[in-house]
Chains A and B, each alone.
Chain A
């Protein structure tokens, strides 16, 4: 009964975003019939493409949501995607690749590049977390530095050239529905961690009132490092999935992904002041961005106009969040 009561109170937060998502879908459906003369929603191919795009950003957003709940921010995820994509790809090339990254390297089992990729992602996250927790510099600055450096590393590593022709056991992880399966699995795990474990309670406690967490005997620094590392691993996973899907790792991948991930979380009701946010909300937030993008392409809207409207949606979501917070304080 206790659970139900809590849920009833929290539901409206996500319900309202879900309704907005459905409204946007409906709008595109109607516009579709009027302008293009076909259905927006009842087109399995389009929906599948959209879900595939959402999956990569969505995986990143799962980690970013947790960081934002602690009152932090992670600007580095897009660059980490690129760095992991090129590093993993370099260990995953097929033996007959025309431009092998490591000459004479035998074809490795997929687990090697995957673990290396997750390790690189985790290391980036660890450095972010260490800087935030131990030096006390603002997360914005720590992760901004990582954003610039990781991208630079990726470019240095590849000398700006793509790392392509990856082996089949690696590309399997980006083929077909795999990205979506991985995304959902990560979402379920994170949701359970956040709602059912100590880890989750501490994420909310640190963001809700860091002093309270400290005086309750929680090792805040340790948990912050853990959370940023976890987010780094998820960004790394997104990099692996992306490189596997397009059969190539490139230093230019993932540009602006960090902003889409942050936007997903914020649209989904995660408060930038910390303490509030849920994974289901972030999933819906990612879907909103995905549907809007897909819908604009469907309607043939100018790509620049798309960006403008995306910006307006993000600002609208934050304004909504601020108004909600004000009401709650009163």
Chain B
């Protein structure tokens, strides 16, 4: 048997997004196969298709040379595929052993759960894997790393011959990673195959035998790890040229308007420092979970900082609530429009006026004429396509919704704009218009921080780029020195010097 698993022509479409387009993946028995790609390349989606969590729209899956249907997770587990999920998924109020055996509890002949067997099976599983975790402990009492180890133990306990590990090391320490690698090597000797998803280059070269790369939902290629080096791999992952033209004109960069010193927020990020200047667009790059959104949410007072200082115009600003941020002339465009930005059932006008409405009050009443005038101004300036201010915003396209959100904040006359994924999920034309708007704002002397997971956007729009890795600043690049490779290196925890050596 050359391959244990052959996925061919897998296609998965979500409303408005083609997540997987004709993707292939072939796994040899007894090997570790790394699955690589940028955020949103479709790795997790492909694995969810394999686990029966999503059903694909087209394509076939062959397991041990036999065509199989995987309509739900139960059938995937039955077929001998198990998965360590990226998002931890324990039942917190249940014990370790209850979590491990969830869905396949051992039973006594009369149909009761065999708690004794469950306990002893868990104990011997933990002993086999050399983990020191009490089977009777409640999950909620364990540390995040311990919970992750329980998830790993659970996936292995299915005795599957194919185990998917979706970023298994995102929550564990160096020592536990070593431990996991020992376990994986042990699995290989038992002819178990592992599909290993990670963003950490070191791990790929240390543990994997083969690498497959996805990009923008498409299959790019597969090669033996031995044939690759970091640069080749990154080229495969990034691939595309900077062919997009960005509406970027250099604005005059002025004085420092905000400086962030040693800002920390619990376990999300720590020791983040940077300056922001008037007329500047500062890009924040990094992988998912690196703490980018958390940083600007903390600056805006959505999250409480645990330490650090924010200075605005040279004066310390106490920001413990978004209201304080607004007073300091900041505006935040959140990552998820629908979740934390838009009032979908309300009109364009209502969505626009909400942040600035108090400034239109004179003598107790709202001056509706002035509000209307200003809203119409915004519609015109930002070229928002809407039949009227009274249109329900749910009926607008994503790009126009985003413009309405931006107008909402422009009506508060902010000096500092924090934009989290400002062009996610909107079409190319609207994207270009938003980029143009950002350029214009910078020209007016406003300072902009932009988070984006699209490297071309970061490179095309930013005057300066800071890169985050696992809650810390990994490096800072000027517009001139930045390129995709450098950003990806920093984002995956490499240092640029190292790369220089391997080149040299």
- Measured between C-beta atoms, what is the minimum distance from B499 to chain A in Å? 38
Please name all residues of chain B whose beta carbon is closer than 8 Å to the beta carbon of A208 when the two chains form the complex. Answer: 91-94
A211: which B residues are within 8 A, CB to CB?
A: 87, 89
Q: Are A201 and B105 in contact (CB under 8 A)?
A: yes
Task: Report B338 CB to chain A, min CB distance, Å.
Answer: 18
| Nearest CB on A from B314, distance (A) | 38
Contacts of A213 in B (CB 8 A): 91, 102-103
User: Which residues from chain A contact B76 at a C-beta distance below 8 Å?
Assistant: 217
Which of A6, A204, A216 contacts B73, CB < 8 Å? A216
A302 within 8 Å of B (CB atoms): no
Contact B90 A209 (CB under 8 A): yes
Among A3, A204, A214, A217, contact of B115 (Cβ-Cβ < 8 Å): A3
Minimum CB–CB distance for B90 against chain A, Å: 6
From known contacts A5-B136, A9-B138, A198-B107, infer whether A215 and B115 are also in contact, taking CB-CB under 8 Å. Answer: no
Number of interface residues of A (CB under 8 A): 27
CB of B104 within 8 A of chain A?
A: yes
Closest B residue to A208 using CB positions: B91
Closest A residue by C-beta to B138: A9
Q: Is the CB of A197 within 8 A of B113?
A: yes
Contact between chains at B95 and A6 (CB < 8 Å): yes
B113 and A196 contacting across the interface, CB-CB below 8 Å: yes
Docked-complex contact B102 and A2, CB < 8 angstroms: no
Query: Residue B140 at the A interface, CB < 8 A?
Result: yes
B166 to chain A minimum Cβ distance, whole angstroms, is 11
Q: Which residues of A contact B112 (CB under 8 A)?
A: 192, 196-197
Task: Convert A197-235 into 0s and 1s, putting 1 for each residue whose CB lies closer than 8 angstroms to a CB of B.
Answer: 110110011001101111111110000000000000000
- Say whether A85 faces chain B, with CB atoms less than 8 Å apart: no
Inter-chain contact B102/A218, CB cutoff 8 Å: yes
Interface mask (A1-18 → B, CB under 8 Å = 1, otherwise 0): 011011001000000000
B98 within 8 A of A: yes
The CA-CA distance from A212 to B73 in the complex, in Å, is 11
The closest CB in chain A to the CB of B89 belongs to A212
A328 within 8 A of B: yes
Task: Please indicate the chain B residues that have their CB under 8 angstroms from the CB of A218 in the complex.
Answer: 74, 102-103
Cβ-based interface call for B85 (8 A)? yes
Q: Given A3, A6, A200, A209, which contacts B89 in the complex, CB threshold below 8 Å? A: A209
Distance of A204 Cα from B95 Cα, bound (Å): 11
Q: How far is the CB of A198 from chain B (nearest CB, A)?
A: 5
Binary flags per residue of A302-316, CB closer than 8 Å to B gives 1, else 0: 000000000000000
Contact indicator B119/A214 (Cβ below 8 Å) = no
| Residues of chain B lying within 8 A (CB to CB) of residue A276 | 93
Interface-central residue, B103, B136, B138, by most chain A CB under 10 Å: B103
Which of A196, A201, A328 lies in contact with B98, CB distance below 8 A?
A: A201
Can you name the residue of chain A whose Cβ is closest to the Cβ of B137? A5
Tell me the nearest residue of chain B to A201, going by C-beta: B105
A216 to B105 CA separation, bound complex (whole angstroms): 11
Do A198 and B113 touch (CB < 8 A)? yes
Smallest Cβ distance from A311 to chain B, in angstroms?
29
Q: A122 to nearest B CB, angstroms?
A: 21
Partner of A275, one of B83, B93, B103, B105: B93
The residue on B at minimum CB distance from A3 is B115
Residues of A within 8 A of B53 (CB): 214-215
> How near does chain B come to A326, taking the closest CB pair, in angstroms?
13
A275-B104 contact given A2-B119, A196-B112, CB 8 Å threshold: no
Which chain A positions have C-beta within 8 A of B138?
A: 9
A31 to B105, CA, bound (A): 52
Q: A196 vs B116: C-alpha distance in the bound complex, in angstroms? A: 12
Residues of A within 8 A of B77 (CB): 217
By a CB distance below 8 angstroms, the chain B residues around A214 are 53, 73
B51 at the interface (CB under 8 A from A): yes
User: Residue B111 at the A interface, CB < 8 A?
Assistant: yes
Chain A residues with CB under 8 Å of B99's CB are 212
Residues of B within 8 A of A275 (CB): 91-93
A212 interface neighbour in B51, B90, B113, Cβ under 8 Å: B90
Q: What is the minimal beta-carbon distance from A285 to any residue of chain B, in angstroms?
A: 19
Cα of A9 to Cα of B95 in the assembled complex, Å: 12
Majority DSSP secondary structure for residues of B touching A: loop
Q: Which of B67-93 contact A (CB under 8 A)?
A: 72-74, 76-78, 83, 85, 87, 89-93
**Distance A208 CA – B102 CA, assembled complex (angstroms):** 12
A200 to B90, CA, bound (A): 17
Within the complex, which residue of B91, B103, B111, B113 is in contact with A217, where a contact is CB–CB below 8 Å? Answer: B103
Contact with B along A161-202 (1 / 0, CB 8 A): 000000000000000000000000000000010001110110
Least CB distance from B114 to A in Å reads 10
Give the complex CA separation of A192 and B110 in angstroms.
12
Encode A250-279 as 1/0 by CB contact (under 8 A) with B: 000000000000000000000000011000
Contacts of B72 in A (CB 8 A): 217, 219
Q: Contact: B93 with A215, CB < 8 Å? A: no
Centre residue among A2, A3, A9 by max chain B CB count within 10 A? A2
Hey, what's the 0/1 contact readout for B134-168 against A, CB within 8 Å counting as 1? Answer: 01101010000000000000000000000000000
Q: Which of B83, B91, B95 has the most CB of A within 10 A?
A: B91
Chain A residues near B98 (CB-CB < 8 A): 201
Chain A neighbourhood of B51, CB < 8 A: 215
Bound-complex Cα distance A3 to B74 (A): 29
Measured between alpha carbons, how far is A9 from B116 in the docked complex, in Å? 18
Q: A2-B119, A3-B115, A328-B140 are in contact. Are A217 and B73 (CB under 8 A)?
A: yes
Q: How far is the CA of A215 from the CA of B83 in the complex (A)?
A: 9
B406 smallest CB distance to A (angstroms): 33
Residues of chain B lying within 8 A (CB to CB) of residue A204: 91, 93-94
In the bound complex, how far is the Cα of B141 from the Cα of A9, in angstroms?
12
Q: Are B105 and A215 in contact (CB under 8 A)?
A: no
Chain B nearest CB: distance from A319 CB in Å?
Answer: 20
Task: Enumerate chain B residues within 8 angstroms of A9, measured Cβ to Cβ.
Answer: 138
User: What separation, in Å, do the CA atoms of A90 and B103 have in the docked complex?
Assistant: 43
Docked complex Cα distance between A216 and B93 (Å): 16
With A201-B98, A208-B92, A209-B92 already in contact, the answer to whether A216 and B140 are too (CB < 8 A) is: no
Query: Bound state CA distance, A140 and B143, in angstroms?
Result: 35
Residues of B within 8 A of A217 (CB): 72-74, 76-78, 103-104
Chain A min CB distance to B129 (Å): 19
CB-CB under 8 A from A212, the residues of chain B are 89-91, 99, 102
Do residues B74 and A205 form an inter-chain contact, with CB atoms below 8 A?
A: no
Q: How far is the CA of A218 from the CA of B135 in the complex (A)?
A: 21
Question: Which residues in B have their C-beta under 8 angstroms from that of A200?
Answer: 113
In the complex the two chains form, what is the Cα distance from A218 to B98 in whole Å? 14
> Do B140 and A205 touch (CB < 8 A)?
no
Tell me the nearest residue of chain A to B112, going by C-beta.
A196
Alpha-carbon distance between A159 and B420 when the two chains are bound, in angstroms: 62
Q: Is the CB of B113 within 8 A of A201?
A: yes
Contacts of B104 in A (CB 8 A): 216-217
Q: What is the CA–CA distance of A212 and B147 in the complex, to the nearest angstrom?
A: 13
18 contacts between A and B (CB under 8 A): A2-B119, A2-B135, A5-B136, A198-B107, A204-B93, A209-B90, A212-B89, A212-B91, A213-B103, A214-B53, A215-B83, A216-B102, A216-B103, A216-B104, A217-B77, A218-B74, A275-B93, A328-B140
Q: A201-B102, A204-B94, A209-B91 are in contact. List 5 more A-B contacts (CB 8 A).
A: A197-B111, A208-B92, A213-B102, A217-B103, A328-B140
The list of the 5 closest CB pairs from A to B, nearest first, reads A216-B103, A208-B91, A217-B74, A212-B89, A216-B102
